[in-house]
Amino acid sequence: MSDPPRIVVAGAGAIGCYVGGLLAAAGRDVTFLGRDRLAQEIALYGLTLTDHAGTRTRVTDPQFSSDPSCLAQADIVLVTVKSAATHEIGETIAARAPTATVVSLQNGITNADTLRAPLQNASVFGGVVAFNVAQTAPGTFHQGTSGGITLETCPNSLVARLSTPQLNVIQTQDFEAVQWGKLLVNLNNALNAVSGLTLLEQLHIRAWRRILATQMTETLQVLKASKITPAKFSPVAPQIVPHILRLPNPLFTRIAKAMLTVDPQARSSMQDDLIARRITEIDALQGEVLRLATAHGLSCPMIKTVVAAIRVAETAQAGPPNLNPQTLLTPFS
């Protein structure tokens, strides 16, 4: 019998610690590669995973390193760095594990292709993580929304190796549709970041939902021009979601309960970036829409307004600006 595959999570942050932690808890051989600060934190507090259903998982003896030489042992590398660091981590993997199987578990559309450039001898697969993860305490990472992981077409053995009783992993032949379906949902990341609210608080404010609905409508127009049909990330078609978002609160709340589970602790990773004074992934989300819109001669004024608000917050280096949604809506009133 062959030895079990060795998995390295490259860029272990919220998503990496959560996904890698579930794999480790299920008995997989997992090493986390991340910053010294997080390595020290987990050494002190351990690694605990919680979710919206009330499940609590304590990971026994997590193997955490800040030295990229740990990649040399990897059979599978899960890439969870922010999109801006994708090419750099690809070169790092190429230098130490050039033939490993590499899976991008990142936001955005182009990360797997970015990894393929330096990893020409590796098998690289894109992945979409449908759920939200936030760090809620030292060494504790919380899955605040429902969902699983979808991979582009890949060997069945890879799906099996990344699946656990708590982690539902599937593959699809229409991966681009899944990516764009998730990006439509992720258009809210920036709104949640500048609001300073939890996702649940923010989504219960109709004005914030109106902004999200307008962003989605602009994106759907761009996708139609590009002949791209986004996948469903809820029981209803993406084209219907903007109409639901614009509903009055009582109607929206009733319908939303059947669409997505969001618990009171959830917040977007982009809000975490502003809290940590880091550059956000706005270029990999709204930026992708704007690039595609430019190629088709289309305009997305609301998306441009949201990008500008994030740029101001990034430059200020003062955390979430706690904006009133009317600040963004006024030019469209």
State residue 184's pLDDT score: 97
Q: Is residue 1 part of a domain?
A: no
Cβ density class 15-30: b for 16+ within 10 Å, e for less: bbbbbbbbbbbeebbb
Q: Is residue 24 part of a domain?
A: yes
Same domain, 85 and 166: yes
Indicate the number of domains in the chain.
2
A 10 A CB-CB count for 177 gives 17
Same domain, 42 and 120: yes
CATH of the domain at 215: 1.10.1040.10
Rounded CA separation 42/24 (Å): 14
State residue 333's pLDDT score: 65
Residue where one domain finishes, among candidates 157, 173, 189: 173
Same domain, 132 and 162: yes
Residue where one domain finishes, among candidates 144, 173, 202: 173
Both structure tokens of 269? 């990773």
Question: pLDDT tens digits for the chain (333 residues)?
Answer: 357 899 999 999 999 999 999 999 999 999 999 999 999 999 999 999 999 889 999 999 999 999 999 999 999 999 999 999 999 999 999 999 999 999 999 999 999 999 999 999 999 999 999 999 999 999 999 998 889 999 999 999 999 999 999 999 999 999 999 999 999 999 999 999 999 999 999 999 999 999 999 999 999 999 999 999 999 988 889 999 999 999 999 999 888 877 667 788 889 999 999 999 999 999 999 999 999 999 999 999 999 999 999 999 999 999 999 999 999 998 776
Q: Is residue 133 part of a domain?
A: yes
Residue where one domain finishes, among candidates 135, 151, 173: 173
Same domain, 133 and 205: no
Edge-to-edge strand list for the sheet holding 63-65: 63-65, 29-33, 6-10, 76-79, 101-105, 123-129, 149-152, 169-172
State residue 145's pLDDT score: 86
Same domain, 15 and 71: yes
Nearest CA among 216, 190, 198, 189 for reference residue 307: 190
Q: Is residue 333 part of a domain?
A: no
CA 208 to chain CA centroid, Å, is 20
Same domain, 156 and 199: no
Q: Is residue 135 part of a domain?
A: yes
Same domain, 29 and 151: yes
| Residue 283: domain span | 176-328
Q: Is residue 233 part of a domain?
A: yes
Q: Is residue 217 part of a domain?
A: yes
Same domain, 165 and 208: no
Same domain, 67 and 140: yes
Same domain, 89 and 215: no
pTM of the prediction?
A: 0.93
